[in-house]
Amino acid sequence: MTWAFRQLLVDHLTYVYEDMVHFPWRLFFSVILTIPLILVMLAHINETIVQYVPSILLHPYIQFVIAFPIHFIIGAPFYERPYSALKEKTTNMDVLVVMSTSIAFFYSYYVMINSKLSEIPPLFYDTSSYIITFILLGRYLEQRTKRKTTSAFISCVNDGV
């Protein structure tokens, strides 16, 4: 095996490892912040669960405060790729994710601001949070699989198989 090919494999493996560094933390905080929103969603679906959900979580402004970091801090990388895709007049899955989560988030924000607290219709902060969390989980699993596959391939190459 040539030195250039080995160096290419090592560079790729390094890139995959560097890409993995931030995923677990983003995924962890996303899941932790999404769990209260799951409880709120369940409380709206099944009235018997309401007694187990802290009443503060049912307040729209608290839901907004929980969903905001998921959407704009944890989900910030989702906005970079669609921007470059739209500049090139193409679309991809990231554009769909950003559109769907943004519509759910900003609709909920609009309803929250323009409604009385006693008459707020259902909000969809939970939807945008779920989508971002599940996409992060999928990307984390994909990166982990790539890392393991690349490591196995490099060990096979080094063993001369």
Domain ranges of the chain: 9-159
CB 132 within 8 A of CB 101: yes
CB within 8 Å of 104: residues ≥ 6 apart? 124, 125, 127, 128, 131
CB 70 within 8 A of CB 132: yes
Residue type, 63: Q
Residue in the structure block whose two tokens are 């921007």: 83
pLDDT of residue 44: 80
Q: Model's pTM, two decimal places?
A: 0.80
Three-state secondary structure of 118-144: HHCCCCCHHHHHHHHHHHHHHHHHHHH
The residues of the chain scoring below 50 in pLDDT are none
Count of other CB atoms within 10 angstroms of residue 95: 16
